[in-house]
A and B are shown apart, each in its own frame.
Chain A
């Protein structure tokens, strides 16, 4: 290869220098999840045993004892204390695995006395990136009005969407954006060290943790006095329960403006039945219209 070609390629290198290594802590948290990866578990145990160094097997043999000791310490401290990294556990819980993530949310907003309820069911996979969502929106404009929207993305190609206002049409549009991931911002905040645990408390009789996404201290968000976002998670599973956004009121006090309730947040096994949820449901009589 001649130098000219290399030089021309170098000139368009979008990342000319290696970026600094991100903090290792999130990866160590993920590593624990990696060890319990179902694909790893499906390997023959003899093969895994042979591949693993002896000292790691010894460490694993001590894990149950270590866990028992940790639980004992927690019990003696009254629970919730100690060095357990709640934010890391939340990060693990909201990081997609190899199955089908199924999330059901309810969002309620009230603007100028007009109430809107948005109920969303969403199935998604990370590999390949695909998703389907079904949204039911109820608006109160003097009379109740409901809109059902269904949308699905085939990996790397086309968005298909259908809505109840125009039931005879399935629109196909070129997928230019990336997959939505409602908790990506929380993962990014954790990686940036901006996901803080505020307290362990109770909500409707259930034990929860309240965490806060702290706005960055520098950059445009800091200059615009960005407001924090709170996240409530189940204290046992660390799955999200609520996300609360705030606005600044008089005297700079925070007031909640938007609450997203997570009714379900689970990862289902990637069985054919679960994967079938990623395809747009049949809409008899509807014809496909290409847009864009």
Chain B
């Protein structure tokens, strides 16, 4: 297989997954650019791409996005991005106040906690795969995921309406 053929096969097999990863974390227009950057890097480092291609590409995408955010006030930028966009793109979030609370709880987490949860919940990776995306050991990831889940549950519980209190369905996600 020539380099060009391998590159095209890589693109055909994983472009959708990389694009989905980027779209879940940034605006659709920027996601296109992120995906292009990822595959340009893949082309330059074609010889380094391991057999576990998807995980490697998602790791590159994560670093491309992180580079883009360098210099931003990260937490605020992510809150701004996550809350309104997710609310807008997830129809169920508009209908179900419980989903809006999930988004708000997610947006309030620390970035490494949130990314650990999203790799499992949205990218549907195993602990070992998610660890490779983050460039850490699987055992370290498991500890991080466990703690992230605990913090997420705590954040979610704090957003639950108190007994007898009316539903907060009208509370906009943008208040974050």
**B-binding residues in A (CB < 8 A):** 1-2, 5-6, 8-15, 17-22, 24, 26-27, 30-31, 34-35, 37, 40, 51-53, 55-56, 126-129, 155-157, 176, 178, 184, 188, 191
Contact = CB atoms under 8 A, between A and B. Distances in A.
B52 interface: no
Given A5-B153, A27-B36, A31-B40, A19 B122 contact: no
Interface of B is mostly: helix
A14 B23 contact: yes
Given A14-B89, A51-B45, 10 more contacts: A1-B146, A6-B120, A8-B99, A14-B23, A14-B90, A15-B23, A26-B36, A27-B36, A156-B73, A157-B76
A127 B117 CA distance: 26
A13 B122 contact: yes
B102 A12 contact: yes
Contacts of B76: 156-157
Interface string B37-77: 00110011111100000000000000000011111111011
Contacts of A37: 40
A55 B32 contact: no
Given A40-B44, A156-B76, A11 B102 contact: yes
Given A1-B149, A14-B23, A21-B19, A128 B68 contact: yes
Nearest to A6: B121
Given A8-B102, A27-B36, A34 B44 contact: yes
Taking residues whose C-beta sits less than 8 angstroms from the other chain, chain B's interface range is 35 or more
A176 B80 contact: yes
A100 to B, nearest CB: 14
A18 B61 CA distance: 15
